[in-house]
Amino acid sequence: MIYSQLRGIGHALPGNPVSNEVLAGRLAELGIETSDQWIRERTGITQRYLADPTTTTSMLAAEAGREALAHAGLAASDIDLVIVATSTPDIIFPSTACLVQKRLGIHQGPAFDIQAVCSGFLYALATADLYIRAGKATNALVVGAEVFSRLLDWRDRSTCVLFGDGAGAVVLRAESQPGILAHRLEARGEFENILRAAGGVHGGAIQGHPFLTMEGQAVFKMAVESLESSARQVLAEAGIAPEDLGLLIPHQANMRILQMTAKRLGIPMERVVVAVDRHANTSAASVPLAMHLAHQEGRLLPGQTLLLQGVGGGFTWGSLALRLAPDFA
Ligand code: UT7
């Protein structure tokens, strides 16, 4: 049997962190009232990274990808599949994955983007796993990357304080031991209106509303429900009891969502990776950035089981269970 084994992790965060206080000051200049206290209490966010106007998604994705390749001990010539999850591509086409392939000097295999908003990294990772298990790829680079700040309406305080920019990347390698144990992706397009950026390009002009809009409470409720049910299904499929799970690494949108999901599953917060406080919500980048943080903090251990979870616009969600290799470092 062929399995996908996690062999490398990388990250990229643009510039310096912007604290809630600094952001509140900038918004005050626009006549928008918010506070560190509101943002902290409602979301757990204390800061975010915001890309400057010259930084693109493919730049962040390539930086994260380069670090993941180095961690895996692989060269660009070893990679035969590139998937980038993003909702903020550099340009309409070619795909951000093709631009990353070019930036990293990868000259073989397919490269394509996946658009599933905040579930994008889970969709990309599950897709790469299917390629590897089908024998169609040996070393896959899977990236979640966003400059989500470009989609924000800075006059809408209910959304603009919540998001940040960044990229996270992993390398999956075909091996004889698992690796990825189980995954499940879901979408319910009938709820497309609760979280969207409903603008498009038509005849050289933007048509519609090109900024992110969200019905926060509807998204919150669906996120908690879908994360719990999806976790239960995938953990059962992987043969892992929630109390035996090593680490839960969910999408980082709101500290309260993380706490409620963990409580419903009976998983103590010490076994949940929290990165929303320092990265805010980086959409498709949030799960690999949280994984990278856990790795930096020495929390990813050989043989450990992880449950990764994404949820967001579409409405989409997904979970993936994996076991780190006995020699993972
Ligand atoms: O990545 C995809 C997944 N996304 C999510 O999971 C996000 C899910 N939703 C949420 O995290 C929460 O719903 C929010 C953080 C977005 C909002 O929290 P909430 O507790 O649902 O607040 P709310 O929308 O009910 O707003 C409460 C109050 C309102 O004032 P009134 O009407 O009670 O007077 C808002 O106008 O807070 C006000 N408010 C703010 N006040 C200060 C909204 N945004 C702000 C702000 N600063 N930035």
Q: What is the pLDDT of residues 172-181, one digit of tens each?
A: 999 999 999 9
Q: Is 133 in the pocket of ligand 1 (CB under 6 A)?
A: no
Q: What mean pLDDT comes out for the span 158-176?
A: 98
Report the run of H or E that residue 132 belongs to, with start and end. helix 120-133
Percent of the chain with pLDDT over 70: 100
User: What is the reported pLDDT for 91?
Assistant: 97
Which candidate, 45, 24, 125, places its Cα nearest to that of 82? 125
When pLDDT is cut at 50, 70 and 90, the band that residue 148 belongs to is: very high
pLDDT at 304: 98
The reply to whether ligand 1 has any atom less than 6 angstroms from the CB of 87 is no
Q: Is 257's C-beta closer than 6 angstroms to any atom of ligand 1?
A: yes
C-alpha 263, offset from chain centre: 22
Considering the segment(s) 3-175 as one domain, its CATH architecture is: 3-Layer(aba) Sandwich (3.40)
Q: Is the CB of 118 under 6 A from ligand 1?
A: yes
DSSP for residue 53? T
What was the pLDDT predicted at 144? 99
| This model's pTM is above 0.75 | yes
pLDDT of residue 137: 98
Write out pLDDT tens, residues 219-277.
999 999 999 999 999 999 999 999 999 999 999 999 999 999 999 999 999 999 999 99
Q: Whose CA is nearest to atom 39 of ligand 1?
A: 158
Is residue 118 among the annotated active site residues? yes
Whether residue 328 has a cis bond before it, omega within 30° of 0: no
Domain with CATH 3.40.47.10 in the chain: 3-175, 180-323
The fold for domain 180-323 equals Peroxisomal Thiolase; Chain A, domain 1 (3.40.47)
202 belongs to the catalytic site: no
Q: Closest residue (by CA) to atom 18 of ligand 1?
A: 42
Q: How far apart, in whole angstroms, are the C-alpha atoms of residue 13 and residue 16?
A: 8
pLDDT of residue 182: 98
Question: What are the φ/ψ torsions at residue 134 (nearest 5 degrees)?
Answer: -85, 0
Confidence band of 109 (pLDDT split at 50, 70, 90): very high
Question: How many helices and strands, by DSSP H and E, does the chain display?
Answer: 10, 13
183 falls in which pLDDT band (50, 70, 90)? very high
What is the distance between the alpha carbons of residues 195 and 293, in angstroms, rounded to a whole number? 27
pLDDT digits (tens, 9 = 90+) for 3-60: 999 999 999 999 999 999 999 999 999 999 999 999 999 999 999 999 999 999 999 9
Nearest CA to ligand 1 atom 28: 158
Please provide the DSSP assignment of 230-272 as one string: HHHHHHHHHT--GGG-SEEEE--S-HHHHHHHHHHHT--GGGB
* Beta carbons of 36 and 19 less than 8 angstroms apart: yes
Q: Positive or negative, the Cα torsion across 171, 172, 177, 183?
A: positive
70 closest CA partner among 12, 149, 131: 12
Share of the chain above pLDDT 90, in %: 100
